[in-house]
Copies of this chain bind each other. A is one copy, B any other.
Amino acid sequence: MGKKIVFTDRVRIYDTDAQGIVHYAGYYRFFTDAAEGFMRDTLGLSYPLLDERTWFVVVESEAKYFKSAKLGEELSVLLEPKLVSDKALRFDFEILVNGSKSCVGHITQVSIDKELWHAVPMPPSVLEKIRNSTGASLSSSKRNKRNDADNA
C-alpha cells in the first residue's frame, strides 16, 4: 500500500565473503544505507540520531535471502516506511539485482531519550515528516506507479 522509495547501492569487496557472495549480515549495510538515505534525502532528518536528545535504536531486524548478490553488482534497494506508533518506525526493504529479488527484510526502530534510555514519542516535527511521507504514499496510488518507484 505504502510508497516504495528506491535507492541504489553496489556490492563492494568488503561486503563479500569466501563464498564469493555478499555475507548474510552484509545486507544490513544496504538496509542501513537506504534508511539513512530516506531519512536524510527524503525527509531532511539525521539518522539514527534524530536530535540532541532523541535517538532511534533498532529493536528488530530480519532478512530472507533469495538470490545471492555478487561483487560489483548494482542493487536497487526499495524502502517502505511504516509508522507502527508515535514511538516506533518500521522500514520494509526489498533488494533487487538485475530486476530479480535478492533479499527481503525489515528493521524496526524505537525512539528513545538518550539520557534516560527509554522509549519516548518521536519529536513532533519528525513525526509530522514521517506521517506526511507515509500519508503521501496513500494518495500516491492515484499517481503513475512507475514514477513511484520505477516499477517496484
Question: A interface vs B, CB < 8 Å?
Answer: 10, 12-14, 16-21, 23-25, 28-29, 32-33, 36, 40, 46-49, 55, 57-65, 68, 70-72, 107, 114, 117
- Cβ-closest chain B residue relative to A70: B18
Residues in chain B near residue A68, CB distance under 8 A: 57, 117
A40 to B12, CA, bound (A): 12
Residues in chain B near residue A57, CB distance under 8 A: 19, 21, 24, 65, 68
CB distance A19 to B55 under 8 Å? yes
Interface of A is mostly: mixed
CB distance B14 to A17 under 8 Å? yes
- Cβ-closest chain B residue relative to A106: B62
Checking B13, B61, B117 against A17 with a beta-carbon cut-off of 8 angstroms, the contacting residue is B13
Tell me the smallest distance from the CB of A80 to a CB of chain B, in Å.
18
A117 to B65, CA, bound (A): 14
Closest 9 CB pairs of A and B: A24-B58, A16-B18, A25-B28, A62-B62, A18-B71, A18-B20, A16-B17, A13-B17, A59-B65
Residues in chain B near residue A21, CB distance under 8 A: 18, 57
A114 to B36, CA, bound (A): 27
- Cβ-closest chain B residue relative to A72: B46
CB distance A24 to B19 under 8 Å? no
Tell me the smallest distance from the CB of A65 to a CB of chain B, in Å.
5
Tell me the smallest distance from the CB of A25 to a CB of chain B, in Å.
4
